Amino acid sequence: METPREPHFFKPLLPGFQSGFTIPLDFYSKHIQGAEINKPWKLRSDASDQIWEVIRESRTLTKGWKEFTEAHDLRIEADADDAPTFSYDYCFLAEVTPTNQKDDKMFLPVEAMRCGALNQQCKEVKLVNKEGKSWTARFGFSESDGAYYISRGWRKFCRDNRCTNGDLFVFNVVGDGTTTPLLCVCPERKECTELLIKHFSRIDGSIASTSRN
């Protein structure tokens, strides 16, 4: 008789993962929600018999998590000398609008042309939400607009994440210029927070200007 598998999930390690690890919502709702918070959890990797204790705050593993990653040398960068170098240095703000949902097409800022993880030969991207779930979308370049765009997947991403018009996402672009890029929702990073602050500052400035006129 086959032994039942323990509940499990897969989640990619994204920049900043050492500061805390967020459990996917679906897994949390089915297997964890209601369990005692701030009670030490036991972690063990396949590489070691040692047990590590971490603290869970809501869905996030916090105290003890960084020590676990350091002890197991968890990292995003590849170890091989000839391995590709991944870029995490470009973030951009995307707004859900009636037009881009209807057309299933969302344009990236023109500045994205300078991002090393993206190029005109790229034909698809992976949109990754905060839970680590991904959606495949078509990726292209518009000669007339001089900008990259996402299509055939953007509308589904918005629908599956229950987006409404006006919702904002800050995407962090992850890639090496040769593999399929990841566009990861990551509002917790400092750079992402700054983009949101600038966005709302521009809106407030426009409203003030209109009022004066």
pLDDT in tens, 27-68: 777 777 666 666 777 776 665 667 777 777 777 777 777 777
Integer Cα distance of 92 and 86 in angstroms? 17
Give the mean pLDDT of the chain: 74
Integer Cα distance of 103 and 155 in angstroms? 8
Give the closest residue to 88 by CA, choosing from 150, 13, 153, 162: 13
Return left, alpha or beta for 152; rule: phi > 0 is left, psi -120 to 50 is alpha, else beta: left
- What secondary structure does DSSP assign to 85-130, as a single string? PPEEEEEEEEE--HHHHHHTEEEPPGGGGG-TT--TT--EEEEE-T
Q: Is the pLDDT of residue 101 over 60?
A: yes
Q: Is the pLDDT of residue 194 over 70?
A: no
Q: Which residues pair with 95 in a beta bridge?
A: 168
> Among 64-73, 124-133, 200-209, which is the least confidently predicted range?
200-209
3-class secondary-structure state, position 143:
coil
Integer Cα distance of 183 and 68 in angstroms? 27
pLDDT in tens, 154-186: 999 999 999 999 998 889 888 878 888 888 887
Q: Check residue 125 and give its pLDDT.
A: 93
pTM, full prediction: 0.53
